[in-house]
Amino acid sequence: MSSVMAKYMTIQKRKFKHGWKVAKQSRICYLFLLPYALLFTLFTVAPVCMSIYYSFTYYNVLEPARFIGLTNYINLILADDVFLISVKNTFLLAAITGPIGYIMSFLFAWFINELPRLLRAIMVLIFYAPTISGQVYMVWALLFSGDSYGYVNAWLMQFGIIDEPVLWLTDVKYMMGVIIIVVLWMSLGNGFLSFVAGLQGIDESQFEAGYVDGIKNRWQELWYITLPNMKPMLLFGAVMAITQSFGVADVTMVLCGFPSTDYAAETVVSHLIDYGQYRFDMGYASAIATVLFVVMILCNKAVHALLRKVGT
Amino acid sequence: MKKNRKKILRKRKPNRSIGGDIGIYILLILFGAFFALPLVYSICTAFKPLDEIYIFPPKFYVKNPTMDNFADLFNIMGQSFVPFSRYIFNSVFMTAAGTLGNVIFCSMGAYVLSKYQFPGNKAFFAMVQTALMFSVYVTQIPNYLIMTKLGWIDTYLSIIVPAFATPMGLFLMKQFMEGIPDALIEAAKIDGAKEGRIFVRIVMPMVKPAWLTLIIFSVIAIWNNRAATFIYSEELKTLPYALQQLILGGVSRAGVGAAVTLFMMIVPITIFLMCEGNVIETMASSGIKD
């Protein structure tokens, strides 16, 4: 019996020694990661954990947070009609602008890659300009202005398509349509730029080998050579598309007003801003953020599973 | 002429159809116009005299371009309580320091995460990726509490240091570093190179397009940061904050507002062109891959 024990102990010891040895060998790795890990923990992980904790409390920022269990979540699902509208809008936005924006980002990056060099730089600038300028989307408020001063109204009336100005940004019927256009206009962002950079890195010799192996047209080349080489960037772009399309708030708040007519343009994030920054209910806002967080993680998982099939 | 055409034809990739190329050009021009529209509008507006800004029916293009808006802008800037050069310095300093740290820390972390196996590797990266999904609007209060504990409120540090460790930066760098063949790093090790040297001499040059892109992301993010939550002292405030105060002056400042929009874009666009020009150029030199 004791011999069995002794054997078990030596195995455990060896295991521990091995683990320690691996960790020691990786010391340099931890050293490289340390500065990032420290700051990331302090300025990202800690605030996220605190927010998730606040979601179980009543916290008005002035008084200390008071633990109230699941009350915020129960209210959110059962008692908040506006939240349901915001969920509907956010899903609509995510379902449309997410995939379209993502595919557009890749296609335009790929098309631009075919151009001569100087032209390429100019085109990348034009498509990325909405992201560079940060605030320029406010111009859309003028373009879609509801009176006949609005450019869109003025043009449509000039061509006789409409007789009187359309309230693009305040009429419940048109709001989301306009928002979708503007969000799509802004969707060639960070993912797009990473695609442009990624396409530059693909080795020319692979394409040359492709010509020899009988790749007939650009679409075959895209599927068999370009896309498999771009997998890491495609993943990055997908995550960017998810965070962008689920996070829409500034655009609706600036264009449709805040709150918008009948809350018809309320998104989950603008709902969260309403509670967090105007009604001083951080606990409730954190609960909204946590729900959104879980939904986005699930969406991310699904997209990863899809991307694994690329190029096979 | 004939020679020229031959040259163009030779440069074309052999499996590209001419019809497809024309289609791509048409598509790019159409969509390019749509994407450029608001940008062109803001540029035009910045040069419009005040009566043209409020003209009815509204005109898209500028008829009598004038520099008045910019003259007014610089005039108001000159009357500012804190000299405007101070705001510009604050913004430039924070942007430069934050971007430098961001590129270095993210690249170092991404290098070991993508090229070495060690306990905790996968879990850490999964955490970084997940962190991207959390809404920044609710983390502002906890962030403020942390800043207070550190005593960094109302200092440059409150803007610069958090900018060092962005989840997006690490994610981007890691995705690009995955493409570097392990054999290359092994070979360098056999030749006696230490990790630090491999990182600086081999890995970083190979992912030049990635860190140039990260510089663009970082500069845009920090430059447009109004930093209004963490900084209160007038002499530490940033340019976007100060400029925003200027244009709150009402209808008569509409022209100045347009000038401000354009003025704020000068730095990001310059950085963008410098970096992106290099990204596009690196193509020829990044030959080593397996």
By three-state DSSP, how is residue A116 classified? coil
The residue segments making up the domain with residue B242 are: 77-285
Residue B1 within a domain: no
Q: Are the Cβ atoms of B32 and A243 closer than 8 angstroms? A: no
Q: Are the Cβ atoms of A128 and B272 closer than 8 angstroms? A: yes
**What's the pLDDT at B250?**
67
Give me the number of domains chain B comprises: 2
Burial of A273 (0-12, 13-18, 19+ CB in 10 A): buried
Whether residues B181 and B276 share a domain: the answer is yes
Whether residues B56 and B100 share a domain: the answer is no
| Partners of residue A126 in chain B, C-beta under 8 Å | 32, 35-36, 39
In which band, very low, low, confident or very high, does the pLDDT at B243 lie, cut at 50, 70 and 90?
confident
ipTM comes to 0.88
By CA distance, what is B127's nearest residue in A? A45
By CA distance, what is B144's nearest residue in A? A47
Single-letter amino acid, residue B289: K
Q: Which of B14, B105, B145 sits opposite A39 (nearest CB)?
A: B105
Whether residues B154 and B23 share a domain: the answer is no
Q: What is the pLDDT of residues B55-106, one digit of tens each?
A: 766 677 788 888 888 888 888 888 877 888 899 999 999 999 999 999 999 9
Residue B290 within a domain: no
Q: What percent of chain A has pLDDT over 90?
A: 45
Q: Are the Cβ atoms of B135 and A269 closer than 8 angstroms? A: yes
Q: What is the pLDDT of residues A103-124, one digit of tens each?
A: 999 999 999 988 888 888 889 9
* Rounded-to-integer distance, Cα B213 and Cα B194, Å: 27
* Rounded-to-integer distance, Cα A124 and Cα B32, Å: 10
* Rounded-to-integer distance, Cα B176 and Cα B208, Å: 9
Q: Are the Cβ atoms of A123 and B172 closer than 8 angstroms? A: no
**What's the pLDDT at B258?**
83
How high does pLDDT run on average in chain A? 88
CATH of domain A71-307: 1.10.3720.10
Q: Are the Cβ atoms of A120 and B60 closer than 8 angstroms? A: no
Residue B26 within a domain: yes
CA distances from B163 to A53, B170, B230 (A): 24, 12, 13
* Rounded-to-integer distance, Cα A232 and Cα A238, Å: 10
CB-based contacts of B25, cutoff 8 Å, min separation 6: none
Whether residues B47 and B123 share a domain: the answer is no
Whether residues B233 and B112 share a domain: the answer is yes
What's the token pair of residue B131? 């962190």
Whether residues B146 and B174 share a domain: the answer is yes
The more confidently predicted of residues B167 and B76 is B167
**The most confident of A142-151, A219-228, B10-19, by mean pLDDT:** A219-228
Average pLDDT over residues B269-288: 74
By CA distance, what is A204's nearest residue in B? B287
The more confidently predicted of residues A302 and A312 is A302
Whether residues B59 and B108 share a domain: the answer is no
Whether residues B62 and B93 share a domain: the answer is no
Nearest to A237 by CA among A87, A127, A86, A105: A105
**Weakest mean pLDDT among A148-152, B27-31, B197-201, B273-277:** A148-152
Task: For Cα atoms A47, A51, A52, give the angle at the middle one, nearest 5 degrees.
Answer: 120
Whether residues B20 and B62 share a domain: the answer is yes
CB B263 within 8 A of CB A135: no
Average pLDDT over residues A236-263: 89
**What's the pLDDT at A26?**
81
Task: For Cα atoms B211, B213, B216, give the angle at the middle one, nearest 5 degrees.
Answer: 110
CB A203 within 8 A of CB A225: no
Q: Which of B112, B273, B286 sits opposite A121 (nearest CB)?
A: B273
Q: Are the Cβ atoms of A33 and B20 closer than 8 angstroms? A: no
Compute the 3-state secondary structure of chain B and give helix, strand, coil in percent, each to the nearest 5: 75, 0, 25
Average pLDDT over residues A47-67: 92
Whether residues B210 and B106 share a domain: the answer is yes
Q: Are the Cβ atoms of B176 and A292 closer than 8 angstroms? A: no
Whether residues B191 and B56 share a domain: the answer is no
CA distances from A239 to A56, A222, A233, B115 (A): 28, 21, 10, 22
Residue B125 within a domain: yes
**What's the pLDDT at B90?**
92
CB-based contacts of A240, cutoff 8 Å, min separation 6: A189, A190, A191, A194, B168
| Partners of residue B105 in chain A, C-beta under 8 Å | 35-36, 39
Q: Which of A46, A111, A185 sits opposite B28 (nearest CB)?
A: A111
Whether residues B141 and B93 share a domain: the answer is yes
CATH number of the domain where residue B280 is located: 1.10.3720.10
